[in-house]
Amino acid sequence: MRVKKEPAAYSRPKLINHRVIGRALTVLIVLGLLIFSGYYTLSAEYFKVSSYGVEGNVHLKDSEVYDLLDVKGKNILSIDAQVLARRLDASPWIKQSYIRKELPSSILVRITEKFPSAVLNDGHAMFLIDDAGVKLDSIDKPAAGLPVINIEEPYKRAYAEAVRLVNVINKTAELSGKAIEITGVRPEDISFTLNGLVILMGFGDYEKKLSSYFSLKDEIAARNIAIEYIDLRFANRLIVKPLKKDLKWVKAAI
């Protein structure tokens, strides 16, 4: 027996939902307005950097810091403070920096500068250096009150050791402001002159060696003899080399 098929139900065509279309148009209009206002804001003269302030700088000029930032005429809303900080780090003088954006068009920079620890004379030019041995700036003559390292460029190990000695010297009150020159080709050859007196230091243990020297300095001075050098290279030993008479005569003759 054949089963009789029921006729399919009539389906009315879907009408266009005007409410949905209206909402979609509203969203599109709002998005368009947001995009337009965002573009206008980022390009508006009102937000372009036109002034700046710099605090904490001693060696660097305000204009030098501003040149490092490279923000003149740029929109303050699009500037990334971390990018600016990295630009400031490119200067060997800057140890730390803090950057604040002040709407609508100002940048405030607060920096902490490095301090020169010594003067490097590498045989070709002279530089101020920091406590890590990094060159800060070139100079024409030694700076008063700073130790001078007379070590040429190829002797990097000796230079690194001389920087360590400088840091100890700068923390030693008895040596503050003294005329000091450091030389050496190898770390074990490191020596310095203290107001004309040659002191052989060798490698490492600088605090201990200088303490040994200062404990006997008055006794050495009381002997009232001409000294060729003082040797502190050996542990727990201080050697005073008197100046020979014939050597003194030769020097006088020269």
pTM of the model: 0.72
> pLDDT tens digit string along 115-169?
999 999 998 899 999 999 999 999 998 888 899 999 998 899 999 999 999 999 9
Residue-level pLDDT at 51: 84
Helices then strands, each counted (H, E), the chain? 6, 12
> Which residues face 128 on adjacent strands?
119, 137
Handedness of CA 171, 175, 178, 181 (dihedral sign): negative
In CATH, the architecture of 118-253 is: 3-Layer(aba) Sandwich (3.40)
pLDDT band at residue 254 using 50, 70 and 90 as cut-offs? very low
How do the domains of the chain map onto residue ranges? 45-113, 118-253
Mean pLDDT for the stretch of residues 101-105: 86
CATH of the domain spanning 45-113:
3.10.20.310
Instruction: Report the alpha-carbon distance of residue 116 to residue 130 in Å, rounded.
Output: 5
Spatial separation of the C-alpha atoms in residues 231 and 196, rounded to whole Å: 15
Name the more confident of 73 and 67. Answer: 67
β-pairing verdict for 118-121 and 126-129: antiparallel
Cα–Cα–Cα angle for 172, 175, 176, rounded to 5 degrees: 90
pLDDT digits (tens, 9 = 90+) for 200-243: 999 888 999 998 888 888 877 777 778 888 999 987 788 888 87
Instruction: Give the per-residue pLDDT at 120.
Output: 97
